[in-house]
Amino acid sequence: MMLFIDNEYYFDEDSLFRDLPQSAQDSVGDRLMPDEAWKQVADEFRFSPIEIQTIAAMHMPNCARKMLSQWSRRSGATLRVLTRTLDKLKRKDIVTFLDDLRKRKYKCIYHSVSIYLCSE
């Protein structure tokens, strides 16, 4: 979940992946592209072989970003699940990146109707 304190927020393991800043989501996806590691992650997230093939065929060179975007709309798509999956696949580089994200604080600028813009 995102923790809000004095117009700042923090991420924890129960935060949803889709709540991360878009730049952070993109960075995770980009780190999965070499050696097509994203396909292993997709398999762990129970994407079917046809879903993986479709993403590969239709979304090159952003396959990993697309897969993560689709996964993030699923129930339970938390940083905890992503971190455990990446640990299992021995992707310590991305786990460290996510750990660093959780240590940062983000500032929020609130606007009307509960819409807000957030930045580091």
**What's the CATH number where 112 sits?**
1.10.533.10
Q: Tell me the pLDDT of the chain (120 aa) as tens digits.
A: 444 444 455 678 888 999 888 989 999 999 999 888 999 999 999 999 999 999 999 998 999 999 999 999 999 999 999 999 999 999 999 999 999 888 776 655 444 344 444 555
* Model pTM score: 0.79
Q: How many domains does one find in the chain?
A: 1
Expressed as residue numbers, the domain containing 61 is 2-119
What pLDDT was estimated at residue 43? 97
What pLDDT was estimated at residue 113? 40
What pLDDT was estimated at residue 104? 72
HEC states along the chain? CEEEECCEEEECCCCEHHHCCHHHHHHHHHHHCHHHHHHHHHHHCCCCHHHHHHHHHHCCCCHHHHHHHHHHCCCCCEHHHHHHHHHHCCCHHHHHHHHHHHHCCEEEEECHHHCEEEEC
